[in-house]
Structure 1
Amino acid sequence: VNQSSSVVLMPQVAIVGRPNVGKSTLFNRIVGHREAIVGSQRGMTRDRKTAETDWNGVRFNLIDTGGIDQGSSENLLRQVKSQVMTAVDIADIALLVVEGREGPLPVDHEIALDLRRRGITLILAINKCDRPKAADEMKLAFHELGIDLMYVIAAEDGFGVADLLDTVIGLLPETTDVGIERNLPTRVAFVGRPNVGKSSLVNALLGSERVIVSDQPGTTRDAIDTLLESNGRQYILVDTAGIRKRSRIGTHAEIASVAMARRRLKQADIALLVIDAEEGVTRQDLHVASDANRIGCGLIVVVNKWDLVDEEEESLRPQVEGIVRERLGRMRYARVVVTSANEGSGIDSILPLVDEVVQARSRRVPTA
């Protein structure tokens, strides 16, 4: 069956602010289900995440962004801020979320100033109001940010969110249906252990730093969806958090991240299992491959970081596919590609291989 849909250009709303003010809680409240990981640990969201939603019949895309944390490392702060401002630049409205109980902080002033300089329609959401009677007092405290549209809310229980959304949809431009029929995108999930280069591969395919990359394991926490168009075909690239052994999953953030990664694997057409060329196929890699096999999505093994192998291992490159398949056991049907995201080698082979696997799977699907 060749599924298609009309291409619709929808308004964009970006949620921005410093860490731990409830941005992801508000995102989940508006979307209507748990899409973004939330918790009390600072910096739970790092990349930007988009979900389609609607309010009173008005559809729009909602973008959750990472918290701008002046206390994080300079490199990570730079990357997070770049992601936030990219979201703002494509958005029609920015919701600046602040913490009502703490009052305005210097970082809130800095973010508000950056947003005003970009000329975007700006709404202030003063969150974590546990006493509705304190709403006026909170508004008065935040007047110094110079934002005319202010709403006091409690994203956790929904207080004030309806009024906020009524204003949002009243300011949004109309949805545009360009009327072009296209095949639905192929969903490609990048899965594997932490720090094997999943985000680097996504960025290499996109040609831009859409996903934050760091040598710190576990930099990606949410599952990040990005639409890519190449040679007339569309793909949704899903960068997921690294899947560790259960015994090594400690924090609430990691537990939620791994659960989301497994959920996104179930929604994928193709799973790209990324492994470390220096370490080969580990027992944990086999568990992830087994998950993909059980779910029924196509499986491609990406042997990444080939630039780091020594000269002795380099001589084995022609045999890599056979070695990997032998290790995969009953999943030996998987296609194998060798890459180096850092050097760009093998990247051009990934999407054609995805297309081949999709076509092979469609030939095996019986029609009624």
Structure 2
Amino acid sequence: GRRQAIVSEVAGTTRDRLMADAWWDDYHFILLDTGGLESHPEGVIRQLVQEQAEMAVADADVIILMTDVVDGMTSSDITAAEMLRSTKKPVVLAVNKVDNDTREFDSPEFYGLGMGDPEPISAFHNYGIQRLMERVTAHMEPDPSRRDDDLEQMDETAPTFQRGALNLAIVGRTNVGKSSLLNAILGQERSIVSEVPGTTRDALDTQLTYNGRDVVVIDTAGIRRPGQVSKGIEKYSVIRAVGAVNRSDITLLVTDATELATAQDSHIAGLAWEICRGLIVVINKWDLFADEGVGARYRAAATIRDRLHFMPYVPICFTSALEGEGIKALMDTAQDLWTERMRLVRSRDLQFMLADALADHQPPVVRKHRGQRVQINRLQQVGINPPTFLFTVNDPELVHFTYQRYLENKIRDTFGFDRTHLKLVFRKR
């Protein structure tokens, strides 16, 4: 197969580019780069790095143990190998900086770590990466979802589509009421089907039924426990939230009514936008402002929309999880958003809309391309969750971002996509 490069770097979760959403062939995964493990970490910073690395290992499905052929096998390598063996998780041993044949002959030294065959690589020169990733992906399941370069026309004659359960993630900062919100959601329901272990050691995926629809709630309420207040753990809590967002169809971003839309909230919202997940902002603890009238709601919503200006369509719900207020409205909003994300539009209706859009507003002339303008020949829907629309054009580089926004708004207004992310793809005919 072919390799697809990193799709989108997770926005703002770390300043040191710690994490990325990635594809390799047909395998989709979150790539997490930790600091180095040491046998005897000294100092607060090194201890925090060690702590983060150990938590990352605990949550990982597959681990790459990176060593250095120039330094040879070190005491830190031995310590790391001993720790990884105790996890009983798949580990692939990589020996980096193998830039020539002589260094490759040095890599057998690392058999002494007892981690199986060492894989010689040079990350800088992109040597050995294909073999390394073949060993990594051998422990993974391929992701069947489409990517931009694999878009095909959907079969609109099919009577049904495999939709499955609605995966709903609850994320947010510490003490905003995530646990209370989960309990309130579960208390609202008559039929809790089962509780199953999630992919993280603190999280539980809870299955329930709402209005006849299966829902899986991905809870990250256990991200940070009392007493664990170091910056390293706070930073890692964002990483855990990123994993929940990645697994979700819709993310509930829970904020505190007394402290709206912090930088961390914006980072998580930005991630949801980048990877095309549904998002609902939940302003919790609204009972503290119950006496301030409707105007307070407008002001709070305006603050959220100002901070999340890149998502003007995002729904905002007001709740008091402890009092059980606003929970039904929140779940109804999630259900409505899910319905939008699964909506299909007939190609004939899209063509009519496109004709109207072109008649109302022709594409602008692009001066840097010798005064040309884009010619749009066809529009079709090629995906759901999120709704994805493919425009067949003469040259994708002629599509100005303002005209793309115009077309998106036209689709929203015509077909009632009020709350969901829309994905527009422009491809040369």
Give the TM-score, by structure 1 length: 0.49
RCO higher in structure (CA 8 A, sep ≥6): 1
Give the TM-score, by structure 2 length: 0.44
